[in-house]
C-alpha cells in the first residue's frame, strides 16, 4: 500500500522534531516536508500535494486557520489535521469551518495522533475524545447564542479587538502581541467581516457592550 504522505507545519523546531521521531517509526507514513509558517505550508502543499497536513493553529504572519482555508481551496484532496496546544471552542470551530478534518491537542498520546492521521487520510473526521462532548454541546446552542451576541471571534481576534478599541495603532498592536503588522491587518479585516462592522467606532461600541473594555479605566 502507498504510504501516507505527511507535511508538518509548526513554527517550533523542537515540536517538529518530536513529531518527526514518532511518525518516522510508522511503516505506513512518510514525511515529505516540514515548514514553519502558514504561507510556506500553502506553497508547499501546491507543489507536493501531501495526503495529510499536520497544522499548528497559532503561527506568525499567517495562522493555521487561514492556511487551512487556502490549502483546501487549492488542493481540496489534502486533509488538514489541527495539532495544537489550544483547546478553545472557537479555535476548534474556526478550523472546521476552514476545512480541517480533525483537531488534536499536543497533549494527546502518541497513538491517538497516529490514529487521527490514519483516520483523516482515509476521508474520515477525528475529534479528540475529551473535547468532543463539550464541543458537541456547544454546537447545539451555537446558533441561538450567535443570534444574541454575534460573538464569533477567536481569542486572538478578541485581543486585537480590545487593543483597537483602546486606540492602539496596528504597529503598536503588533509589537504588544509579537506579531507582524500584516497579521494585525488580517485580524482587523476578519473582525470587521465577522461582526459586520465598518469603523473603529463600531468596534469600540461592541467592545464596551461585551464588557471587553471599561471606560472608567
Q: In the predicted model, is pLDDT for residue 130 greater than 80?
A: no
Query: How is 147-212 classified by DSSP, letter by letter?
Result: HHH-----HHHHHHHHHHHTT--HHHHHHHHT--HHHHHHHHHHHHHHHT--SHHHHHHHHHHTTS
User: What percentage of the chain reaches a pLDDT higher than 90?
Assistant: 51
User: What would the mean pLDDT of 67-74 be, rounded to a whole number?
Assistant: 95
Most confident stretch, 82-91, 136-145, 201-210? 82-91
Distance from C-alpha of 120 to C-alpha of 77, rounded to nearest angstrom: 11
Which DSSP letter does residue 2 get? P
Q: In the predicted model, is pLDDT for residue 143 greater than 50?
A: no
For residues 213 and 162, which has the higher predicted lDDT (pLDDT)? Answer: 162
Q: Is 28 within 8 Å of 51 (Cβ atoms)?
A: no
User: What would the mean pLDDT of 103-124 be, rounded to a whole number?
Assistant: 93
Surface-to-core class of residue 144, CB atoms within 10 Å of its CB (0-12 exposed, 13-18 middle, 19+ buried)? exposed
Give the pLDDT confidence of 151-201 residue by residue, as tens digits. 578 889 889 998 988 878 889 999 999 999 899 999 988 888 888 887 777
**Domain 150-209 in the same topology as domain 4-136:** no
H-helix or E-strand spanning residue 77: none
Distance from C-alpha of 138 to C-alpha of 135, rounded to nearest angstrom: 5
Strand order in the sheet with 29-35: 29-35, 4-9, 52-55, 79-84, 102-105, 126-127
* Structural domain boundaries in the chain: 4-136, 150-209
Rg (CA), the chain: 18
Phi/psi region, residue 103 (left: phi>0; alpha: psi -120 to 50; beta: rest), is beta
What residues contact 102, with CB distance under 8 A and at least 6 apart? 79, 81, 82, 116, 119, 120, 125, 126, 127
pLDDT score for 139 = 52
- CATH number of the domain located at residue range(s) 4-136 in this protein: 3.40.50.2300
Q: In the predicted model, is pLDDT for residue 213 greater than 80?
A: no
Q: In the predicted model, is pLDDT for residue 89 greater than 80?
A: no
Domain at 150-209, CATH from 1.10.10.10, 3.30.1360.70, 1.10.10.350, 3.30.499.10: 1.10.10.10
Amino acid at each position: 500500500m502507498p504510504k501516507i504522505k505527511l507535511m508538518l507545519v509548526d513554527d517550533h523546531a523542537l515540536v517538529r522534531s518530536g513529531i518527526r521521531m514518532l511518525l518516522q517509526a510508522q511503516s505506513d507514513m512518510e514525511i515529505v516536508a516540514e515548514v514553519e509558517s502558514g504561507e510556506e505550508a500553502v506553497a508547499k502543499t501546491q507543489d507536493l500535494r501531501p495526503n495529510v497536513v499536520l497544522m499548528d493553529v497559532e503561527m506568525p504572519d499567517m495562522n493555521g486557520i487561514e492556511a487551512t482555508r487556502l490549502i483546501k481551496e487549492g488542493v481540496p484532496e489534502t486533509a488538514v489535521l489541527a495539532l495544537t496546544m489550544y483547546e478553545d471552542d472557537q479555535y476548534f470551530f474556526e478550523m472546521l469551518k476552514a476545512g480541517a478534518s480533525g483537531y488534536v491537542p499536543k497533549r494527546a498520546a502518541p497513538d491517538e495522533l497516529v490514529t487521527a492521521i490514519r483516520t483523516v487520510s482515509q476521508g474520515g473526521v477525528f475529534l479528540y475524545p475529551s473535547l468532543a462532548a463539550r464541543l458537541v454541546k456547544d454546537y447545539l446552542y451555537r446558533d441561538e447564542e450567535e443570534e444574541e451576541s454575534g460573538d464569533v471571534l477567536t481569542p486572538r481576534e478578541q485581543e486585537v479587538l480590545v487593543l483597537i478599541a483602546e486606540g492602539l495603532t496596528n504597529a503598536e498592536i503588533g509589537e504588544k502581541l509579537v506579531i507582524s503588522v500584516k497579521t494585525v491587518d488580517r485580524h482587523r479585516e476578519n473582525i470587521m467581516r465577522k461582526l459586520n462592522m465598518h469603523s473603529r467606532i463600531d468596534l469600540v461600541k461592541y467592545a464596551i457592550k461585551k464588557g471587553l473594555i471599561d471606560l472608567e479605566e
